[in-house]
Amino acid sequence: MDGISAPHLYPKQMEVLKFLKQYVRKYQSMPKLKDIAKALNLRANSTIHQHLESLEKKGLIRRGRFNNTIEIVEKDFDFSDVKDVHLLGYIAAGKPLEAIEDKTNILRISKDMYGSKDIFALKVKGDSMIDAHIMDGDTIIVESKTTADEGQIVVALLEDYSATLKVYSRDKKNKKFVLKPMNPKYEPIVTDKLYIQGILLGVIRGY
């Protein structure tokens, strides 16, 4: 049977699911919480429960409501069908903030979500894009590009090297760039110069 495409999985969620599969394959039974904790160096049961809850919401496991059992729903999940995406830091959906680059954090997503595009991820800080359904704390997936079309949501670097997430447009009459927020309490950013870093492709939101 062909493996299914992977949903969005953070590294620790991937580790938990891999461990469950390997444990079942070896022992023909599901591990207890203490087994998961020992194998993955997780000290708090609450942390394990959070990971299991996330995997259940993504349709990969099913948990018993009363006897704490776990069942792997999709046994043919294909771990090779994921792409590592660098989570580079924060992007301002509000006032611009200093650009942060940190390639130590990795987000794993399905390869068929964005094909072979050169992509990266950023965490959103602020509420200036709420009318575009982008909330504080969301993770955005961005295609690395240096140009954009009118109306696209871009990651832009300003002249002072602060970074922001806004709707891109040009004021051709005055030869200005305009970065428009999607929240009426914020004013557009109008500037002579900016550097486009990428185009918004998607949003990942945790519950």
Write down the residue that tokens 């990266």 correspond to: 120
In a domain, 138, yes or no: yes
The CATH number that applies at residue 142 is: 2.10.109.10
Among residues 34, 103, 123, 166, the one annotated as catalytic is 166
Specify the pTM.
Answer: 0.61
Q: 117 an active-site residue?
A: no
Give the residue ranges of DSSP H helices in the chain.
11-27, 33-40, 45-57, 111-114
Backbone angles phi, psi at 7, to 5 degrees: -75, 180
pLDDT tens column, 103-140: 557 777 777 678 788 898 898 999 999 999 999 989 99
Q: 185 an active-site residue?
A: no
Question: Looking at the structure, do residues 60 and 88 belong to the same domain, yes or no?
Answer: no
Question: Looking at the structure, do residues 105 and 34 belong to the same domain, yes or no?
Answer: no
pLDDT tens column, 167-176: 999 998 888 9
Residue type for 146, please?
A: T
pLDDT tens column, 22-77: 887 777 678 888 888 889 888 888 888 888 888 888 888 887 654 466 777 765 55
Q: What is the CA radius of gyration of the chain?
A: 21
In a domain, 3, yes or no: no
The CATH number that applies at residue 64 is: 1.10.10.10
Sequence-distant (6+) residues with CB within 8 A of 17 are: 9, 55, 60, 61, 77
Among residues 58, 95, 128, 176, the one annotated as catalytic is 128
Q: Which helix (H) or strand (E) holds 198?
A: strand 194-204
Whether 102 has a pLDDT exceeding 60, the answer reads no
In a domain, 4, yes or no: no
Domain with 37 in it: 11-77
Question: What is the pLDDT, as a whole number, of residue 60?
Answer: 85
Whether 1 has a pLDDT exceeding 80, the answer reads no
In a domain, 125, yes or no: yes
Question: What is the pLDDT, as a whole number, of residue 140?
Answer: 92
Residue type for 56, please?
A: E
Residues 15/16/20/21 CA torsion (nearest 10 deg): -30
Mean pLDDT of the chain: 82
Q: Which residues pair with 191 in a beta bridge?
A: 177
Whether 152 has a pLDDT exceeding 90, the answer reads yes
Question: What is the pLDDT, as a whole number, of residue 9?
Answer: 73
